[in-house]
Amino acid sequence: MPFSDTGIWISCGVFFANHLYSYIAYNHRWHQGAMDIAEQISLPFRRIIPMHTTIIFGGILLLILQVIGIQSTLPVLVLFLVIKTSSDVAAHIDKHQLKLSPDESAVAS
């Protein structure tokens, strides 16, 4: 696929604009304090566990589909994309969620 394709440039532009907005909007929060070490260690597992679960159960699903006579790998790809997208959305929401101060959390509960 040549780089003269406008779809590639539009996708790159949207990707860049999204990350530029995220950097500008949330950059000030990165300097407000360090994360707890347990939180830092557990963050990658939100992505690792869904990926490995998909690999294991996707392989089982492929075997079952082959027994029935379906040779397509599309169901496993769709399964992976749904699990991966949901874990990425959850991680994004958690990352950018406003943390309440102790005074505000007492009022909110």
The predicted structure's pLDDT at residue 79: 82
pLDDT at residue 46 is higher than 50: yes
Q: How long, in residues, is the chain?
A: 109
Query: Which of 45-50's residues contact partners 24+ apart within 8 Å by CB, and which partners?
Result: 46/87, 46/90, 46/91, 47/84, 47/87, 47/88, 47/91, 50/83, 50/84, 50/86, 50/87
Backbone phi, then psi, for 32, in 5-degree steps?
Answer: -85, -15
Query: Domain map of the chain by residue range?
Result: 1-30, 43-98
**Interval 61-72: pLDDT, tens:** 889 989 999 888
Give mean pLDDT, residues 2-27.
84
